[in-house]
Structure 1
């Protein structure tokens, strides 16, 4: 997980679209420049410099972040030892006047060898640290979490990850300001201006990528980005910014359950798009429960959604016979109560569905995978009041595992709180900016058009309702064909937003990514 779906914030009364790890997901409805040296700001010195950004009172007494720490480790991968070094440290980011305004903590896994690729990883939210991709998907170690039956009190044991990408690329996990141990060193108003809005977020994180490459003499390496959820929103924009503004070109981009089009589900009273987005994922979850989920079955669902379902919704009351036929077919596809589908008009709203699908068991489905459930502590409330089932179970084990790994295993003895998911970032994020509403598809198109060798792999879980796979299918189908059609492709796997928590899906993702990397 890693990310917070912007629509899952309590301040937004709708739910649908994408990004991950909801910051404040209570109800499912409620859904710059940096130096090369990883130095920390000296609050006392900054206080004496009248030109420096003001450091807020609550930050003035913070102990400095430790110097960079390293540890040699080994895992067994495909029956062979893989030796690597993990490095944890901070890179500073600066304001427009060159003053240090924040410290971005980076966790890098590197293997000895010439000309190895390097992959930069971001999670989403905004407000989520990169631990979800690190310990859930692609790092050399993993924690079992995020699946049906998981508990926040389960042991947070790290084990070797057979789905890691480390044997074919070095991995650099970046925690944006306010997440993980990364932090702002300026006052709240300046923090919001410099870090908690779309354009500044893209600019300073791009510079962190650039500075890590320069600091580690890796500008000549093949370079890749992977972003999940809102990190998938960041991916195309960081790629394009690096390419066009900082002069660093990516070879490939992997977008995991990306939040590409923030406004795609608007106007549900008139547009069929919101309902086209959700129907296939709701159907996939039902097919999975019935042991009928296959790519072939889903191909038929996608064809129906793009064809007869869309046209029937557009006709509305002008064709009552088609509407009744559609309602009957949606009932069959989803396995939901016929009365529920009838009174929904065949338009299955996500929040209502997540309460309805497991209501007989007294449980809620997760927006990230509706087949992952928890008991509903407020079953008679008019709207969902409980936290999302996956978020409720995954933050504790990932936080425990990461803090123990960084402080004990690597020896980076930091005295600070770790934010796997920051509610503070979510509260302060500028969610009304035109830059956010624009989405990242224009940057995706421009980056692909500018570089005929750039490859983009978009991956989703079938069951995800926070960032439904259908959104990426529709997006890519509308892109112009720029050379080889396989340069931008969409793949789906069993599971949800964090489909990689399932071992088979994690291994299938590894195989597809290895194939993409091999083409360079």
Structure 2
């Protein structure tokens, strides 16, 4: 029996050893299988999957523009963005308005807003599209009915219009993960490259490569416009007949700041503050602003550079800045005559318990925390325009055009803005603007601003334009300034003046 037990024990031992060996061999295989499965699962997880967007949809509409009825085709469509290997990584949704029966040489204008993170709804439903919804003026509220009306200041009577929503705005979307999205879409240079390709793709898709072409951009879109024009011209092979920059962001290094050694930040803001004060006094005229600009270029800049070594210079600064801005001289004295835009917006309306918008300092909202040392509210214009513009655009897309989707529409994406790689502080579109103009003596360029805008002050553009060469002709780059702020076109008279000036640079290209 003992012998049998020993033999049985030996058999069991051999079985255990064999099983152990099998387990040791199996373990790496199982681990390898698990590793391979995890890799496959990760690749699947990295692919962002959405329900497909609807097919392009077109409806026939009409609007009363410039005193006559204009019939046009309104289209909501999609253009794919692909990487170097041909993989679809994004989808850009556009809105186009093409007049029916137009001549083969009818111009087409591509419009971009800014942010970064803004859709093109503001230029579309606020400035030059065939329909408009009121926003950006004093008295507007988020609860205003999002009902569009015919836009008498639309440009559709002399150019077809294509409004492009960059990835992350409107219904446009990335199809790759967060890290790849930032690299492909949310940085200055990649943004220009893929949006330029979108313009080209639309021209091919619509059969419009022979049409005169214009690029229009507002705010950061004004940064995009000259760079896209030069990319199209020099890399993609598409000539651009004209560039229109609306309240453009042209010089990233010109923002105000108390530590700035250069007098430029203070010089750039002062005329817009003075314009706002003159408007409050019903005294804003181009002639009055000529005097403001002359002072800013001359005695103001000189006295700033003198600094505290010249007490009389400081005294002059305080006197003149107080007079021009309407601010309390005691406050201006404490600030050494250097008033930043945030202080101006808070203090100029403090007695009313309201706060001004950086986009138009005379558009105000109640300050929810008037006794706080620091501002604790969002911008009055931004908070008031998101609801009407979003609702009006979604209603147009889904109900009027019938492009049905349950995707969310982003009129303004703070997520895109916070994720954006802005590059170097001296990354300026003026370099590409100069190159594009120098390459094409026929290219027309117009920069437009509102007097009261402190987000992108007009005086920055004035100084930039004045430092440009003539390019063989006087006023090769035209600069026009209108009553109002960043979205001056929300004022009927300013919108009409803008259209009149724009039509002039399209002269000879319209039907």
TM superposition shift of 1:69: 0.3
For 2:467 and 2:56, the matched residues in 1 are separated by 45
Q: Which residue of 2 aligns with 1:303?
A: 294
2:411 alignment partner, SS class: coil
TM superposition shift of 1:402: 0.1
Q: Deviations over 1:309-356 (max 9, x none)?
A: 001101112322122122101111111111111111111111111110
For 1:501 and 1:469, the matched residues in 2 are separated by 17
TM superposition shift of 1:77: 2.0
2:162 alignment partner, SS class: strand
TM superposition shift of 1:266: 6.6
Unaligned runs of 5+ in 2: 1-38
2:169 is aligned with 1:179: yes
Q: Which residue of 2 aligns with 1:459?
A: 448
For 2:508 and 2:455, the matched residues in 1 are separated by 31
Q: Which residue of 2 aligns with 1:38?
A: none
CA RMSD between the two structures: 1.8
Which is further off, 476-485 or 161-170? 476-485
**8 Å CA contact retained: 2:304, 2:313:** no
For 1:285 and 1:518, the matched residues in 2 are separated by 33
2:75 is aligned with 1:74: no
2:384 is aligned with 1:393: yes
Give the greater-gyration-radius structure (CA). Answer: 2
Q: Which residue of 2 aligns with 1:206?
A: 196
For 2:338 and 2:418, the matched residues in 1 are separated by 31
**8 Å CA contact retained: 2:182, 2:419:** yes
Q: Which residue of 2 aligns with 1:10?
A: none
2:321 alignment partner, SS class: helix
TM superposition shift of 1:270: 1.6
TM superposition shift of 1:56: 5.1
Unaligned runs of 5+ in 1: 1-49
TM superposition shift of 1:494: 0.3
TM superposition shift of 1:519: 5.3
Q: Which residue of 2 aligns with 1:404?
A: 395
1:160 pairs with 120, 128, 150, which one?
150
TM superposition shift of 1:249: 1.0
Q: Deviations over 1:395-441 (max 9, x none)?
A: 1000000000000000100120000001110121113x23x631101
2:77 is aligned with 1:89: yes
**8 Å CA contact retained: 2:186, 2:420:** yes
1:499 pairs with 445, 469, 488, which one?
488
2:440 is aligned with 1:442: no
How do 1:72-471 residues align onto structure 2 when only pairs under 5 Å count?
72-111=60-99, 112-114=101-103, 115-265=105-255, 268-431=259-422, 433-434=423-424, 437-471=426-460
1:437 alignment partner, SS class: coil
Q: Which residue of 1 aligns with 2:502?
A: 513
Judging changes above 3 Å, is the alpha-carbon distance between structure 1 residues 310 and 519 closer, same or farther for their aligned structure 2 residues? farther
TM superposition shift of 1:89: 0.9
Judging changes above 3 Å, is the alpha-carbon distance between structure 1 residues 287 and 58 closer, same or farther for their aligned structure 2 residues? farther
Which is further off, 364-373 or 318-327? 318-327
Question: In proportion to residue count, which structure has more helix?
Answer: 2
Q: Deviations over 1:221-256 (max 9, x none)?
A: 000011000000001100111100001111000000
Q: TM-score, normalised by structure 2?
A: 0.89
TM superposition shift of 1:269: 3.4
Judging changes above 3 Å, is the alpha-carbon distance between structure 1 residues 221 and 324 closer, same or farther for their aligned structure 2 residues? same
TM superposition shift of 1:453: 0.9
Q: Which has the higher contact order (CA 8 A, sep 6+)?
A: 1
1:85 alignment partner, SS class: strand
For 1:219 and 1:58, the matched residues in 2 are separated by 34
Judging changes above 3 Å, is the alpha-carbon distance between structure 1 residues 214 and 328 closer, same or farther for their aligned structure 2 residues? same
1:385 alignment partner, SS class: coil
For 1:100 and 1:453, the matched residues in 2 are separated by 36
For 1:501 and 1:217, the matched residues in 2 are separated by 33
1:417 alignment partner, SS class: coil
1:263 alignment partner, SS class: helix
TM superposition shift of 1:193: 0.5
Q: Deviations over 1:48-101 (max 9, x none)?
A: xx99x95757942x2110000001001112332110010001100011211000
For 1:338 and 1:308, the matched residues in 2 are separated by 18
For 1:258 and 1:502, the matched residues in 2 are separated by 18
